[in-house]
Structure 1
């Protein structure tokens, strides 16, 4: 009974992979058809491209930094919203809402309404206290992208960790209180160990999605200034749809798959040792 579903998923997964691998060995430029076999020319050009180290570094930064930020803020919000307080239901709804905003819309809001150096809300707040507004996307483009991505994924981390906290035995917390444990000690020795497995799952899921960050870059910086915010997905886009070089873009796609598998393998090993 499962065979049709498995077959569809296999075709869906392997056909694009095989085609990407095939095109990576072709001299295939959309402006100069038809394609012809080029061997390792695309890979040679890719690995000698001076932009590649910057692109890989940007990719890793856009994975690890938002991952740390979302984990820290997710834990903080989960612990905060787990306790009783007036309006808790509304507060939980509001903290989760940004996750349902499309990346393109979120990037436009941050670019034009919040971080804009002239009429952005943050610039207005800076003027109120006598500070000079900052053109974030020119002066600190990577920081601006990290802020947008972290804002979008913190609700997801909060939702996962808050759900996990609902299964925590409250008697453990009460026993720790009776033994004189302070709030920080209760979090480190009772709450955090309970969250180890959800955190491991969260890291795996977020890593997969953060490796494919694209819309926020396209809407705000277009990979610039220069290649300051170009990651592997945007590099593939620029080579395929701006440079019309399908062969080079396919080689970069194969390289992206290798990077994703290496990062996933690293996290699996680390998490398996911890758990």
Structure 2
């Protein structure tokens, strides 16, 4: 039996139908992406959850979901926005409880502009921490109680240490780090961030989730793995030193290329 890490994928239920044989052939982790829109979380999502239970009968991997993010900022300076974001997180936790989901992906508040301005105003760094805690403290506590973990994904992040320190400030087993390889590649190529593998090195054992997608350093491509310029050998070499068993989730635009992306990494001897 191979000791190589087992790849999973991010999919909607429609995509699961197309890739179900691959998903069930090994204990592959799955990240459901049906519950991102506010219209879904605020509506009757129970039929969708029941469909998920049917499709995932026999699934032996870990189950996660992408949480809400569109139009949301977990470190908003507006208290009404923070209240709204907190409510969306509670709604995501309701879905997680219904489906025994153990991981929810949410987005980092750090922007390119913030990187150059965090030290331009006194206490700005601390303000980001304070506003994020006001938004997420209750949700993180509830997540811990129900056996779920929020993972904070890099978006525009230029310095991965900022996101790590934010997660560390919660001191909770229910809050950890996520790396999106394509987002990191964009930041490397377009804003001067360190290479993608450096993001993994900084995260260390706080890393519990990875979005695997290829890119060219110019945009958030979500290309199949192998179609861009990311150094996958370097990235997986960093992962090899991490013992937190992060979920390795292929997140690409063309879901018909999930198997090909997995095969590419398998042919490099990096994963299965």
Report the TM-score when normalising by structure 1.
0.24
Instruction: Give the strand-richer structure, 1 or 2.
Output: 2
Report the TM-score when normalising by structure 2.
0.24
Instruction: Give the helix-richer structure, 1 or 2.
Output: 1
